[in-house]
Chains A and B, each alone.
Chain A
Amino acid sequence: MKKINLSKFQSIIGLVIFSVIIAMMNDRFLTGSNILNILRQTSINSIIAAGMTFVIITGGIDLSVGSTLALSGAVVAFLLASGMNPILAMAVALAVGAGIGVLNGLVIAKGKLQPFIVTLATMTVFRGATLVFTDGKPISSGYEKNAEFFAEMGNGYFLGIPIPIIIMVIVFAIGYYVLTQTTLGRYVYSLGGSEEATKLSGVNTNRIKVMVYGISGLLAALAGIIITARLSSAQPTAGSGYELDAIAAVVLGGTSLAGGVGTILGTVTGALIIGVLNNALNLMNVSSYYQLLAKGVVILIAVLIDRKNK
């Protein structure tokens, strides 16, 4: 019990120390507007990572989230441009994302296949589908009256806080509740701990798999809606490589790729570490080439430290 608490604090302590160092190096870091900026930039990755947390705790992985994001974004932009009610358009896009996830889950569960292989394949399939659907061109979500409300999803504020941040907080609150208080959450941990034992205990493990990939797809679609709203257009190449950032956030948060262990709080911290790092490198005018390099190295170091402490 004590150990778990300690490791839970570890990534938070790491984040705090990291932030303090950056704050000392750069006085623009700890300003209110910059912090909101970090949170807003983190929100997309965080939302995807929240879904990824469910998948990874079951011992799986979902590489198709970036493509799901792009396809859902294209769907919502297309529907808006054709004049559909924004709420309805978003609902359709979310359903598309959830549907993709459920499909992933069904293939993995019924086909008894490795999640890595299945989602690697569907990642390509849905990227291809997006390119076909958009003909490789961005789709503008339009400037009609009904798109105004939609644009708020990416650019609006509520009580001075950007809407994407509010969505992120709600997603994490629900994610936390589901993982800790519901039967689904319990089965997610149990499935990751031992699939055989869970199945033999009378739990329908296939259903749990379908649900976690469904959740992952749904949240990827939500992230796709926010990005599309923010840019007022859907890019066919949106979200490329986002799966890796999401996995990095989950792992930095102390969730084991082997399954059975992990928390949603850890994932928040992990996503924030990546967000803070990106922001700091931007503030210091480090070129984007070096940024990528630095990000990789930091992830490696963090995971190594975590490993040593276990």
Chain B
Amino acid sequence: MSKVLLRMEKISKHFPGVKALDQVDLNVYEGKVMALLGENGAGKSTLMKILSGVYQKTEGELFFKGKPLKIDGPKDAMMQGIAIIHQELNLLEELSIAENIFMGRFPSKAGIIQWKKLYSEASALMARLNLNLDVKMPVKALSIGQKQMVEIAKALSFETELIIMDEPTDALTDQETESLFAVIRGLVASGKSIVYISHRLKEIFEICDDVTVLRDGQFIAEKPVSEIDENLLIELMVGRRLEEQYPYIDCKTNERVFKVEALSNRFVRNIQFELFKGEILGVAGLMGAGRTELAKSIYGHLKCDEKRMRLNDETIHVTSEKEGLKKGIAYVSEDRKKDGLVLGMSVCNNVTLSSLEKYSRMGIIDKKAEKSEVESYQKSMSIKTPTIKQPVKLLSGGNQQKVSIAKSLSAKPKVLILDEPTRGVDVGAKKEIYELMNAFKKEGLGILMISSEIPELLGVCDRIMVMKQGEISGILTRSEATQEKIMRLAIGTGEQ
């Protein structure tokens, strides 16, 4: 067994109302790639944020190169040799490659930047990654894969010994993924260690030496990749059989509640589909396929060139969010923190934000009616919060999501669009959300559910619509849908 570079021991992290991590261990070995696996909400990013200095741990100890490690913030982590490459890259688009690599540490004499030295050092770093790019080029001119290389070069420019890569291949083409793997192999050969986070199990077997699995904020297992197979890995991650994780009920009717006859704008084209009462229609597709844009176009948030929709066989015109809600279409955002919730406001005020007019007369809020309505949602959806006056930012992800859904429900929609409803939600809360969706189904709602997790779509949807580059590439029934068929439609090179 090779030498341990980093050891994280019994790490816990508590947030108000949630235990994000509970006594988690992680070892990283010198010159090896350690995969860190777990479902969304398993605690991977929290653990990595502790390691990269973004969060402070609540309990536990860290050892780096055999010595106790204390990290004071992200910059300190980098100085000590730990770099993280985030899913969302952290580059200044307008600046050059070289400037980005040495941001904050330009070689200078008496405050004057030595451009020659800057460019030559940056070129040398890029060459180590087998990339021949003019380092004076602005970063905005690069592809995502190339930008990632700039981030790696930046990490190498520090005396980095440990690089954390968070879902590095998510936005990469196959070819870019291959060159990333070549770079990883080169780094490992030169003695660097890597923590590799990915949802793509195939990659784990291709590039990683060991895996550590987390589930629900707890340490589950550490094993060499050579000793495991895919089934075992899934079992470790999910901790239960899939059927139990995805409750499904069949209450689809033939009564059409919603129909898009035509919809086009600069994001999506030639959109046509139907939605029935008591049905969950899943929307699958790769990042950038236009799923969220479709949802926001239906809802009236994005402008359309052409839009013909029917609700209960009546033609409806929706040109603003307000109208969307009024007509009976509600949208639950994929990004709770950005546009789904007003984080600083209370649970109560968030829940009623879309329906405040219902609890008010001449603009004056009937606070009693508001409170009783919110409390009924709190009860029926089991939203866990000390009081409904609690600021929503102090709730766990799952409970925030429920507040976000309650907000849309309170507008009494007929069509509910859920955009990644289980993103960043722990496994237990996921199941609760599925069960809520089933309850809405029974009440006759039509649900459009966007998700990037195919197993989830297969598990809870009645039909699955797949999108590719802004168009619908196919609609599959529950019985005919498989992971392969969905992927083929989502990526599909040759069209029938």
Render A155-197 as a binary contact track against B, CB cut-off 8 A, 1 for contact.
Answer: 0000000000000000000000000011110110110011011
Q: Which of A1, A186, A199 contacts B349 (CB 8 A)?
A: A186
Answer yes or no: A17 CB below 8 A from chain B CBs.
no
Q: A222-260 interface mask toward B, CB cutoff 8 Å, 1 = contact, 0 = none?
A: 000000000000000000000000000000000000001
Q: Which residue of A lies closest to B338 (CB)?
A: A196
What is the bound-complex CA distance between A261 and B345, given in angstroms?
9
Q: Given A1-B389, A201-B407 in contact, is the A193-B354 Cβ separation under 8 Å?
A: no
In whole angstroms, how far apart are the Cα atoms of A181 and B360 in the complex?
10
- Given the interface contacts A200-B321, A202-B325, A202-B411, does A181 sit within 8 Å of B338 by beta carbon? no
What sequence of 0s and 1s flags, for each residue 357-378 of chain B, a beta carbon within 8 Å of any chain A beta carbon?
1001001110100000000000
Closest residue of A by beta carbon distance from B324 = A202
Which residues between 316 and 366 of chain B lie within 8 Å of chain A, taking CB atoms? 320-322, 324-326, 331, 333, 338-345, 349, 353-354, 356-357, 360, 363-365
Is the beta-carbon distance between B339 and A197 smaller than 8 angstroms?
A: yes
Size of the B side of the interface (Cβ < 8 Å), in residues, is: 32
Instruction: Kindly list chain A residues whose C-beta atoms are within 8 Å of the C-beta of B357.
Output: 183
Q: Is the CB of B339 within 8 A of A190?
A: no
Q: Is A203 an interface residue, CB under 8 A from the partner?
A: yes
- A200 in contact with B340 (CB, 8 Å): yes
A85 within 8 A of B: no
**Among all A-B residue pairs, the 7 with the closest Cβ atoms:** A196-B339, A193-B342, A202-B325, A201-B353, A202-B322, A201-B354, A202-B321
Residues of chain B touching chain A, judged by Cβ–Cβ distance below 8 Å, are: 301, 320-322, 324-326, 331, 333, 338-345, 349, 353-354, 356-357, 360, 363-365, 367, 387, 389-390, 407, 411
| Interface presence of A7 (CB below 8 A) | no
Contacts A1-B389, A183-B360, A201-B407 hold; do A193 and B343 have CB atoms under 8 A apart? yes
Give Cα distance in the complex from A182 to B356, angstroms.
Answer: 10
Is A198 part of the contact surface with B, judged by Cβ < 8 Å?
Answer: yes
Measured between beta carbons, the chain A residues less than 8 angstroms from B301 are: 199-200
Q: Say how far A288's CB is from chain B's closest CB, in angstroms.
A: 40
Instruction: List chain A residues, Cβ under 8 A from B324.
Output: 202
A204 touches B360 (CB 8 A): no
CB-CB under 8 A from B345, the residues of chain A are 189-190, 193, 260
Q: How many whole Å from A58's CB to the nearest CB in chain B? A: 12
Contact among A183, A200, A260 with B363 in the assembled complex (CB-CB below 8 Å)? A183
* Complex Cα–Cα for A47 and B328 (A): 42
**How far does the alpha carbon of A193 sit from the alpha carbon of B349 in the complex, in Å?**
12
Q: A interface, how many residues as a size bin?
A: 20 to 34
Shortest distance from the beta carbon of B317 to any chain A beta carbon, whole Å: 15
Chain B residue nearest in CB terms to A256: B344
A199 to B390, CA, bound (A): 22
B326 neighbours in A (Cβ, 8 Å): 202
Q: Is the CB of A186 within 8 A of B365?
A: yes
Whether A190 and B349, one on each chain, are in contact in the complex, defined by CB atoms closer than 8 angstroms, is: yes
Residue of B nearest to A259 (CB): B344
CB distance from B271 to the nearest CB of A (A): 20
Q: Which of B321, B324, B338, B340 is the most central at the interface, judged by chain A CB atoms within 10 Å of its CB?
A: B321
Could you tell me the distance in whole angstroms from the C-beta of B318 to the nearest C-beta in chain A?
11
Contacts of A1 in B (CB 8 A): 387, 389-390
Please determine whether B349 and A200 come into contact, CB atoms closer than 8 angstroms. Answer: no
- Bound complex: CA A187 to CA B344 (Å): 13
Residue of A nearest to B341 (CB): A197
Check B360–A202 contact: CB distance below 8 A: no
**Cα–Cα, bound, A181→B370 (Å):** 12
Residue of A nearest to B323 (CB): A202
Decide: A197 and B340 in contact? CB cutoff 8 A: yes
Instruction: Give chain B residues whose Cβ lies under 8 Å from the Cβ of A198.
Output: 342, 353
Q: Decide: A182 and B360 in contact? CB cutoff 8 A.
A: yes
The CA-CA distance from A203 to B352 in the complex, in Å, is 11
CB<8 Å pairs between A and B, sample of 29: A181-B364, A181-B367, A182-B360, A182-B364, A183-B360, A184-B363, A186-B365, A189-B345, A190-B342, A190-B345, A190-B349, A194-B338, A194-B342, A194-B343, A194-B344, A197-B341, A200-B301, A200-B333, A200-B339, A201-B321, A201-B354, A201-B407, A202-B320, A202-B324, A202-B411, A203-B322, A204-B320, A260-B342, A261-B344
